[in-house]
Structure 1
Amino acid sequence: MESGAADHSVPVRLLALGDTAWTIEFGTRIDPSLHARVLGLADALEQARRAGSGEGGREGGEGAAGHEDYAGIVDVVPTFRSLTVHFNPLLIDGQRLGKALLRLAAAAGTASRKGRHWRIPVCFDEEFAPDLNELAQSKGLSREAVIALMSETTFTVYLIGFMPGFPYMGGLPALLETPRLASPRKAVPARSLAIAGAMCAVYPWQSPGGWRLLGKTPVPMFSAGNAQSPSLLASGDRVCWQAVDRPLYLEIEASAQVGSFELDSLLLTPGDT
């Protein structure tokens, strides 16, 4: 469950993930302010890598990280409350990098950049929303009221996980929080909008899954042909759902399938790059 206040009683921890990665953990809860610190560290690390001079250009000293250390970083993965940094041990002194990451985490603060803000179409027709009526009934709401709540809410992308392009999003209204299905489906259709617990997500591919399906978007969540940014959404992005009828859904879907749909048309604000 999401919390409104960061868990500052928990110290930042540096955890070894095998011998080629460090995880920097900021707390123990799903918390917007903790996630802001995760993104703050990711930003600080990216700036240090671009500067090519380590921490503020300092050289030498115990735990100092120079350009060669940051240049050997392979990947940076933000999650709800931690950041994992994968590195090449042939190019980086792992212990030295770990100390540098702790210092960056202490100094980074929260993210200065702003994620993108999207308005993504969703069709809530019954053929795409097999769990919507049951959810509405269990909450004492009408079908239309559930759709309105989903459409009026701004969701925040915490991380991409489970499968390529799968966005874990917080911000689900407490009234709609619901457990996963007791028996997961063997095949959830691609691009299904789903909720479970306090989370919202979209399945980018057909796959097994136990989240409750409330609709379907015609917009692809993952494009392998886009090497620069194959996942539509990224950690820190915000998402609003726009209810559309079936004819418009099919029109957008057909356009997206032939590559003529402009994904940038869904941006309310582009965010920082």
Structure 2
Amino acid sequence: MTSVQLRPVGADALLLEVDTPLDWFAALDAEREAGRLSVVDIVPGARTVLLDGVPDPAALAARLRDWEIDSAPVPQEPPIVVDVHFDGVDLPFVAAHTGLTPDAVVDVLTGTDLTVAFCGFAPGFAYLSGLPWNVPRLQTPRTRVPAGSVALAAEFTGVYPTPSPGGWRIVGHSSAELFSVDREPPALLGPGRTVRFRAA
């Protein structure tokens, strides 16, 4: 049995506070695809799932309150491979923080299948989970992080899709196009997808 706390958001949205957001996202998305759930968008977060564009939030809340989901692994599409040059300015810090050599850090980064836990911060930015570390952010964020920077913060990894401020620890860079309005879907990395880094 899974637990869920339901909170209304405005007139036509629900926020679900759950322990396993990706399991809920997959189950709700399957309901939408099967035509059993009317919702405009399903947005997973670190501890939540937002259902936006709900015609009758009260009725849906009543339906979901005692809902049980199958937490069995969902069949995965092939991993998205992202080529990375591991030349980031913070790689020595991450190595020292984890007690590894820089080469060993790269081995872990390229040998771990990462999962897109949720997306946010900027269009195309995916929060990737699965690493065995918790890396502290910079005390003072950089005013500009170059597009393509591969970086770590807390338990997450991410690739900056555009230049922006940021306080994550940069370990490398990639030329992958993470977001394009000419692609469907525009974001390369979506919730639940598996991502694998490959040393370029």
User: TM-score, normalized by length of structure 2?
Assistant: 0.89
Q: For each residue in 1:212-249, what CA deviation from the matched residue of structure 2 results, as whole angstroms up to 9, or x when unmatched?
A: 000011111111111x20000111111111111xxxxx
Q: Counterparts of 1:1-273 in structure 2 under 5 Å?
A: 11-27=3-19, 34-49=20-35, 54=36, 70=38, 73-87=39-53, 92-102=55-65, 106-110=67-71, 112-125=74-87, 129-174=88-133, 177-226=134-183, 228-244=184-200
Structure 2 counterpart of 1:75, one-letter code: D
Higher helix residue share = 1
Shift of 1:76: 1.4
User: How many correspondences in the alignment?
Assistant: 199
C-alpha distance in structure 1 between counterparts of 2:92 and 2:131, whole Å: 18
Higher strand residue share = 2
Shift of 1:164: 0.9
Task: Evaluate the alpha carbon distance shift between residue 97 and residue 183 of structure 1 in structure 2; reply closer, same or farther with a 3 A threshold.
Answer: same
Which structure is richer in relative contact order (CA contacts within 8 A, separation 6 or more)? 2
Q: Check the 8 A contact 1:38/1:81 in 2, yes or no.
A: no
C-alpha distance in structure 2 between counterparts of 1:182 and 1:35, whole Å: 29
C-alpha distance in structure 1 between counterparts of 2:47 and 2:75, whole Å: 18
C-alpha distance in structure 2 between counterparts of 1:139 and 1:85, whole Å: 38
C-alpha distance in structure 2 between counterparts of 1:108 and 1:139, whole Å: 36
C-alpha RMSD of matched pairs (Å):
2.1
Larger Cα-atom Rg: 1
Shift of 1:199: 0.9
Shift of 1:115: 4.4
C-alpha distance in structure 1 between counterparts of 2:169 and 2:176, whole Å: 19
Structure 2 counterpart of 1:120, one-letter code: V
Shift of 1:36: 4.2
Shift of 1:173: 2.2
Gaps of 5+ in 2: none
Give the match for residue 262 of structure 1.
none
Structure 1 counterpart of 2:49, one-letter code: L
Task: Evaluate the alpha carbon distance shift between residue 168 and residue 112 of structure 1 in structure 2; reply closer, same or farther with a 3 A threshold.
Answer: same
Task: Evaluate the alpha carbon distance shift between residue 14 and residue 139 of structure 1 in structure 2; reply closer, same or farther with a 3 A threshold.
Answer: closer
C-alpha distance in structure 1 between counterparts of 2:21 and 2:61, whole Å: 20
Tell me the percent identity.
Answer: 34
C-alpha distance in structure 1 between counterparts of 2:21 and 2:139, whole Å: 30
User: TM-score, normalized by length of structure 1?
Assistant: 0.67
